[in-house]
Amino acid sequence: MSHERIQREGWAEEYVRRRLAPEDSAAFEEHYFGCDRCFAEVQEMERFVAGMMDAGRRGLFNRELDPRPVSARWLLPAFLFAISALVLLAVGLGYMLLIRLPNSEARLQTALAETHHMEAQLAELNGRASSEAVPQANVPVVILTADRSASEPPDRLTITKQTTEALLWIDIPPQPAGTQFQLTIRGAGSFSKTIGGLERNENGALAASIPVSDLADGTYIVRLYPAQAPGAMIAEYRMTVSRK
């Protein structure tokens, strides 16, 4: 009895179903007790046949299937829910792409521009602070007097390329003790500069420094006011600035 013949002719199933002739059954038993594969096949077939017989005894094969079609009423709500979710998703994506992201990008560009502007201003201030921190020799001084007539030339301030600061020495008419003063400097065009918080020194005059970078060559009108009443002018001075 060859293994190939047993597999080809399905003897394992025939043996379990008791369909083999006695001599074939005896020959198969002699074979499968020594063949692990056939022995396992016989065991599996016996379990299958036993299960089928048990199902038959319990009448499982006699039950009729329910002929009623499966209800499809749940399909419509599920479909509507899916459509609603897709619409909401599309609206959300449209809002992000068309409104939220462009606005965020515009705000980012504005913030970057403001940051660059502030960095430039800071660098300029740092440069001025560095130049102002260096002691300067031969600071140019102009003495402003208010008793000059219109026919007399203005007080002259001469500055050089190395000059960074100039000193204004201002003679003032008699004023009550403790008076504080405010000085305005106006030049050609729209130039205007105000210096406040001035007080008389021990010589009875006012002294104030000014960056020469603020002064172009030309004539300036300098007016003195009391800080408490900036509308009441005390004195007027004329000053001319030139570089050499």
With cut-offs at 50, 70 and 90, classify the pLDDT of residue 65. very low
| pLDDT above 60: residue 61 | no
Calculate the CA 54 to chain-centre distance: 73
Among 64, 1, 60, which residue's Cα sits nearest to residue 35?
1
Higher pLDDT, 207 or 37: 207
Among 138, 128, 197, 194, which residue's Cα sits nearest to residue 162?
138
pLDDT given for residue 234 in this prediction:
86
Calculate the CA 76 to chain-centre distance: 44
- The answer to which of 176-180, 181-185, 237-241 has the lowest mean pLDDT is 176-180
DSSP string, 145-166: -S---TTSPPEEEEE-TT--EE
- Which CATH number does the domain 141-243 belong to among 2.102.10.10, 3.60.15.10, 2.60.40.1930, 3.30.1130.10? 2.60.40.1930
Tally of CB atoms within 10 A around 55: 11
pLDDT given for residue 131 in this prediction:
58
Question: Taking the chain, what is the end-to-end CA distance rounded to the nearest angstrom?
Answer: 129
| pLDDT above 80: residue 180 | yes
Structural domain boundaries of the chain?
3-62, 83-134, 141-243
| pLDDT above 70: residue 71 | no
Among 241, 224, 212, which residue's Cα sits nearest to residue 185?
224
Higher pLDDT, 67 or 242: 242
- The answer to which of 10-24, 92-106, 204-218 has the lowest mean pLDDT is 92-106
Percent of the chain with pLDDT over 70: 84
Give Cα separations from 203 to 37, 141, 170, 191, 206 (angstroms): 126, 16, 11, 30, 9
Residues 6+ positions from 184 with CB-CB distance below 8 Å: 192, 193, 194, 195, 222, 223, 225
Answer for the pair 215, 166: CB distance below 8 angstroms, yes or no: yes
pLDDT given for residue 132 in this prediction:
56
Residues 6+ positions from 49 with CB-CB distance below 8 Å: 16, 17
With cut-offs at 50, 70 and 90, classify the pLDDT of residue 241. very high
Answer for the pair 237, 155: CB distance below 8 angstroms, yes or no: yes
Structure tokens at 52: 């089928």
